[in-house]
Amino acid sequence: MPTSEPTPVPGPDGPRSRRPGPPDGEPVVFVADEQAVVAVDVLMLSRLAESVLRAEGVRGASELSVLFIAEDEIAELNQKFMGITGPTDVLAFPIDDDLGESGRSPDAGSSGPDRPPVEASEVPLLLGDVMVCPSVAARYAAEHGRTTDDELALLVVHGILHVLGMDHQEPQDEAAMQAREQELLAGFFGT
């Protein structure tokens, strides 16, 4: 069976490699709108996310989820994971790309019948989760003179770049990330 090379992913210290998924298949994006305050074009944003993954070099079977959630939910996640009180527009949660040990499910490696070892090249690469709050996005869009759709597209791209390892802690990293966001939006969203 052919093997694929790890996908280089930008990180704070330069490119890092991800475990490759199966060489066959394409990136898949699971999108769910779990809020009812702002209308979200799920199909358009799903297509945008898939295009961004391909443009960023994600190859083979891989999965990303994009969830549109309510303000109270994103505020809770923001507090729990970032230590910041209040809602935010987007949070990204990369998934560790190492496979766990084989063993009895759900507590792999415990006593009981073991499962055969899992071959990394047979398991889809789980990239992570992007959580977007449309109601916060709508407020930011109005403040910046953009449409809500434009703001949601920007947040989806921003979240995906975070999942893939980009950051904006340093000024040069922030400039690079913003430039890449604009390139991707111009290429796949038209703004």
Answer yes or no: is 156 within a domain.
yes
- Is 17 inside a domain boundary? no
pLDDT score of 191 more than 90 = no
Domain assignment present for 85: yes
* pLDDT attached to residue 11: 42
- Give the rounded percent of residues in the chain with a pLDDT score beyond 90: 61
Spatial separation of the C-alpha atoms in residues 138 and 142, rounded to whole Å: 6
Q: What does the pLDDT read at residue 24?
A: 75
Number of domains composing the chain: 1
CATH number of domain containing 47? 3.40.390.30
DSSP string across the chain: ----PPPEEEETTEEEE-----SSS-EEEEEEE--SSS---HHHHHHHHHHHHHHTT--SSEEEEEEE--HHHHHHHIIIII---S--SEEEEEPP-SPPPP-SSSSTTSSSPPPPPPPGGGS-EEEEEEEE-HHHHHHHHHHHT--HHHHHHHHHHHHHHHHTT---SSHHHHHHHHHHHHHHHHHHT--
Residue 30 pLDDT class (50, 70, 90 cuts): very high
Residue 48 lies in a domain: yes
Check whether 19 has a pLDDT greater than 60. no
Per-residue model confidence (pLDDT) at position 135 = 97
Can you give the pLDDT at residue 1? 29
Residue 107 lies in a domain: no
On whether residue 9 sits in a domain, the answer given is: no
Domain of 149, in residue numbers: 25-98+124-188
pLDDT, one tens digit per residue, over 172-187 is 999 999 999 999 999 9
Whole-model pTM: value is 0.79
77-126: per-residue pLDDT in tens?
999 999 999 999 999 999 855 544 444 444 455 555 565 555 555 667 88
Percent of the chain with pLDDT over 70: 73
Between residues 24 and 170, which one has the greater pLDDT? 170
Position 190 scores a pLDDT of: 78
Confidence check: pLDDT of 16 > 50: no
Please write the tens of the pLDDT for every residue from 142-174.
999 999 999 999 999 999 999 999 888 889 999
Q: Do the domain assignments include residue 5?
A: no
Domain presence at residue 184 = yes
